[in-house]
Structure 1
Amino acid sequence: MRIVKGVVALLAAVIIGFAGWLYFAPPDLIRVGSQYSAKIVCSNVFLAERDPQATLETDVQAPGHWLLRLMNVSVDRTAGVVRAGLLGVFGGGLSVYREGQGCAAVPDGDLDAVRAQSAPPPSQVAAPGDGVWPEGGTVEPLEDIELYAVLNDEALVGPGMRAVVVVRDGRIVGERYGEGFDEKTRLLGWSMTKSVTAALIGRLVREGRISVEETGLFANWTDERSKISVADMLGMASDLTWNEDYGDVSDVTRMLYLEPDMAGFAASMPLDAETQGGIGEVFEYSSGTTVMLSRIWENVFDSPTEALAFPRDALFGPLGMTSAVLETDARGTFVGSSYLYATARDWARMGQFLLQRGVWNGHSLLPVGFVDWMVEPHPASGGEYGRGHVWRRAPNAWLPGDNPDLPEDAFFMSGHDGQSVSIVPSENLVVVRLGLTPSRLNYKPAFLVQALIDTLDRAE
C-alpha cells in the first residue's frame, strides 16, 4: 500500500509540475496551436456561419498535429471573441471578429488595441441582381450527363471537396458542393489570396500610386535589402531568409499565430547568406513576402480607413464579389498571403477576371498587359512561378505519380489543403476547386481540369 501511495504521489507531482510549466511558460508549439484553433474557428463561425465544435473537429483537429486534438474552444458571439487552449487552459489562443475585417489572431492578448483601430466604412456595394452570372446571381448550368459524371467522380473532385465551380465562355456551366456547404458559404482560399494581392497592386499601378520597380520599401532596410523591388517580391525572389514549413513552429506559423504585427516580423528577416545568388535570382516561396507587400500597398494611402476600404471598392465591388472578406492582422495589415474568404462563385469571378486579362464589363481595371506580366514565368523559379504571384505549375504536380498535360497557357491560383483556381485561356475555362484535402492524400486537381476540358470539348 505504501508503494502504491508513493507512485500515486509521484504521478500527481509530475502532472502538477507539468501543468504549472505549461501555465507559466507555454511552449511556442502549444501557443501556435491555440492561436490557430481560435483563429480558424472564429472565421468559420462569423464569416462562414458554421458550428464551432464541428469546425474544430473537422478543420483543426482531424487534419492537424496531434496536439490539436487536445484543444478546446469557447465562443462569445456577443463580443465576437473566440478563445482556445490545450485542454481549454494552456496556450492562450484568442481571436476577435470585426465587421468588414473578419477575424484576427490576438497573440499579445490586447483586445482593446485591436478594437481601437480604424475600421472600413460600411459597404455600399449592392449584391448581384437576378441576371445571369457573373453580372447577376443566376446560374444556368448545362444539362450534360457527362459533365455531371465528372463532377460526381470522387477521384476527380478529391477527398474533402467542399465546392467545385466550372466556368466556360464566361458562364457557370456546372457546380457541385460538399455536404454542409453551398453557393452561399464563404470558403478560405489560403495562398490563393496571394494572387488577389497581386491584382490589388495592379490596381494601384494603374492609378500611378505604386510601381513594381519601387525599392527602399521599409525604413529598417538600410542595408542591401534596400535594393529589393516590389517586382522581386511579387516573383518570390527577394532573397530574404524564410521558412514556409507548416508542420512546426517556423517563420510562417510564427508570423500568422504569434506575431501581432505580421509585416513588421517579416520585414525583420535578413538576406539569406546561404543562397547561391542574390536579389531577383533566388526563388523562395514566402507568405511573409506577401504580407509585407500588403503593408507596402496600404502605406500609399493617407489613412488606414482608406486602405481598409480599397480591396472592396477597387476590386471586389466592381467584380460583384460581395461575399469577399480579406482579413487583417492585429495591427490592421491585410493578411494578403492567406486570409481571403469568399464563396466559390466569387472565387470563380476572380479567376474569370484574370482570364479576361483584368478587364471586367468592358473596363480595364488593371494596366494593359499586367496580367500577362503576372503570368510570365519568373526565371528564378525555373518556370514554375509567374512574375506576379501565380503558379505556372499545376497544384500538387510535385506529388508522386503522373500529371496530365494541360494546355501550356494554363496558370493557377493555389492554396493550402487543396484550394485551386485553374485558368486555361485557350479553353476559355476557369475551374474552382475548394476543400479540405491535405497534400498527404496525393490529390491533384489537374486531372479534374483535364477531364472537364475533354468533356466540354466533346459537348460542342
Structure 2
Amino acid sequence: MKKFLKIFAVLLLIALVYLRIEIYPQLDLISGFSAKSVASGHFIDGRSLETIQQGDNDIDKIDWATNKIDEKQRFVTSSVYGLKTRKAIYREGLGATLINDDYDVSKPYEVPKRNFIKNDLPFPYGNNELKACLPNGMDTIFSNIDYDKLNAAVANAFDNKGEINKRTRSVIVIYKDKIIAEKYADGFNKNSKILGWSMTKSITGTLFGVLQKQGKIDIMKPAPIDEWKNDERAIITINDLLHMNSGLEWEEDYGKISDATKMLFQADDMTKSQIDKPLVGKPNNTWNYSSGTTNLLSGILRKQFKTHQEYLDFWYSALIDKIGMNSMVVETDMAGNFVGSSYSWATTRDWAKFGLLYLHKGNWNGEQIFDESWAKYVAKPTNGSNGKYGAHFWLNANGDFPDVPRDFYRCSGYQGQMVAIFPSQDLVIVRMGLSEEFDFNGFLSGVVGSLKR
C-alpha cells in the first residue's frame, strides 16, 4: 500500500509540474481567446452563447473555458475552471476588445464616422436584390455556364446533414459582377457577419494603395519607426513590410505561446508588438509571414493623420464604405488602434465586394480607389516566398492549387476564410468556414470548370 501511495504521489507531482509549466501559462490565452470570440460573435453577429461555444470555440483547449455574457453592460468574462479570468468589452463601432485589469473602461473613446451610401442599384454597386430569372435570386443569363456543374461544386463545399468535416458556413460565386451561386449553412444567411481573420491583412494593405493613389505616401521609403532610425533596421521600407520580407524576427504559431498569440491576447497596443524585434534576415530577401508586421503597418497608418479620429474614419471613408461594405466592422485593441492583422467582420456579399474591387483593378463603379498598377503589385511574388505570397495577398504563382489558374490570388484567413480573385476568368469566389482541411483546390477548380470558355 505504501509503495502504491509513493507511486501515486510521484505521478501526481509530475502531473502538477506539467500543469504548472505547460498548461497554466496557456490559460491566459485560452480564456482570452474565448472571451474575445464570444463577445464579437454575440454582439456583432447576434449569435447565441451556445452557437458560439459549439461552433467558433470548439477548438482544442479553447473549449475548456466557461463563458458568461453580460447583456446590459455588453461584456463577456471567460475563465478555465475559475482560473485566469479574462474580459472582453463591446463598443458600437469598435467591436469587441479584450482588456486587462489595468484598462479603464470609463475613459472616453472615439468611434469611426460611417457613411452608408444609399442608391437603387443592385449588387454589387448597391444592396438591392438582383432581378433574376429564378426565385432563389441567382442569375441565369450566361449561356457559357454549366449550372448543374456549378451548383454541384457549391453544394459539395458543404457538409451533409449530421457531418462536421468541411464546416463551410457560406459560399458566393460572382461572375461578371453577377451572383451566379450563393449558399449558406443552417443558421447563416446573407446578413450574417463572419470574421475574416487574416483576410483583414488584405484590407490593411489596400489602404496603403489608397494613400499612394492620393499621393500621400511613398511605400518605397523607409518605414517611419523612430526606434529603427539609428540601427540596421533603418533600411526597412514600407514596401518590405507589405511583402512580409522585412527580415525582422517573428514567430507566427497559434498552437502555443508565441509572438502572435501574446500580441493578440495580451498586448494593449498591438501596433508595437514587432517594433522591438531584431533583424534575423536581410530586408527585401527574407520572407516571414507575420501578423505583427500588419499591426505595425496599422500603426504607420495612424501616423499619417493628425488625429485619431481621422485615422479611424479613413479606413471606412476611403475604402470600406466607399465600396459599400457597410456591414464590415474592424475591431480595435486597447490603445484604440485597428487590429489590422486579424479582426474584421462582414457579410459574405461584402467580402465579395472587396474581391471585385481587385478584379476591376481598383475601379469601383467608375471611381478609381487605387491605381490599376496596385492590383499587379499585390499579385507579384515576394522575394523569398517561393511564389506563395505577394503584398498582403496569397498567390498561386507556384501552383499550390494545381487545378486552378496560376493568376488566381486571394485573401486568406484562419480556418479557411477565402476571397479568391480570378482575373483571367472575371470571377470572384468567397468561402467562409471553420476548417482549413477543406479541399480548396477541388472546390475552386469545380467552380472554374463550370465556366465554358
TM-score, with structure 2 as normaliser: 0.88
Distance 1:134 1:445 in 2: 28
Superposed CA offset, 1:72-121 (max 9, x none):
0111122121111102x212221111111111111x223425x5253224
Task: Give SS of 1:266's match.
Answer: coil
**Distance in 2, Cα, partners of 1:117 & 1:210:** 31
- Match runs of 1:214-363 below 5 Å: 214-221=221-228, 222-272=230-280, 275=281, 278-363=282-367
Unmatched 5+ stretches in structure 1: none
Superposition CA RMSD, Å:
2.8
**Alignment match, 1:95:** 88
Q: Which of 70, 74, 80 does residue 80 from structure 1 map onto?
A: 74
| Alignment pair present for 1:457 and 2:438 | no
Task: State the partner residue of 1:147.
Answer: 150
Pairs aligned (count): 430
Residue 213 (structure 2) aligns with: 206
| Secondary structure of 2:445 counterpart | helix
Do 2:381 and 2:395's aligned partners in 1 also have CA atoms closer than 8 Å? Answer: yes
Amino acid corresponding to residue 116 of structure 1 in structure 2: K
Higher helix proportion (structure 1 or 2)? 1
Is 1:118 matched up with 2:112? no
> How far did 1:207 drift?
1.8
One-letter identity of the residue aligned with 2:308: P
Q: Identity rate of aligned residues, in percent?
A: 32
1:30 to 27, 31, 35: 27
Match status 1:195 vs 2:202: yes
Q: Gapped runs of 5+ residues in structure 2? A: 133-137, 141-146
C-alpha separation in 1, matches of 2:421 and 2:92: 32
The 8 Å contact of residues 96 and 111 in structure 1, kept in 2 or not, is answered as: no
Q: Which amino acid in structure 2 is aligned with residue 366 of structure 1?
A: F
2:143 match: none
Distance apart, 1:394 and its partner CA: 8.3
Shift of 1:281: 0.6
Taking structure 1 as reference, are residues 234 and 122 closer, same or farther at Cα in structure 2, changes over 3 Å only?
A: closer
Name the residue aligned to 1:437: 435
CA distance in 1, matches of 2:101, 2:183: 40
Compared CA separation, residues 78 and 417, structure 1 to 2 (3 A)? same
Give the deviation of 1:53 after TM superposition. 2.8
Which of 138, 154, 160 aligns to 2:167? It is 160
Instruction: Say which is worse superposed, 211-220 or 241-250, in terms of deviation.
Output: 211-220
Are the equivalent residues in 2 in contact too, given 1:394–1:446 (CA < 8 A)? no
User: Residue 225 of structure 1 aligns to a residue in which SS?
Assistant: helix
* Residue of 127, 134, 158 corresponding to 1:136: 127
- Distance change in 2, residues 1:303/1:325 (3 Å): same
Question: Is the contact between residue 128 and residue 320 of structure 1 (CA under 8 Å) also seen in structure 2?
Answer: no
Are residues 1:448 and 2:451 paired? no
Cα deviation for residue 328 of structure 1 reads 1.0
Amino acid corresponding to residue 260 of structure 2 in structure 1: V
In the TM superposition, what is the alpha-carbon distance from 1:214 to its structure 2 partner?
Answer: 2.4
Quote the Cα distance in structure 2 between the aligned partners of 1:355 and 1:255: 33
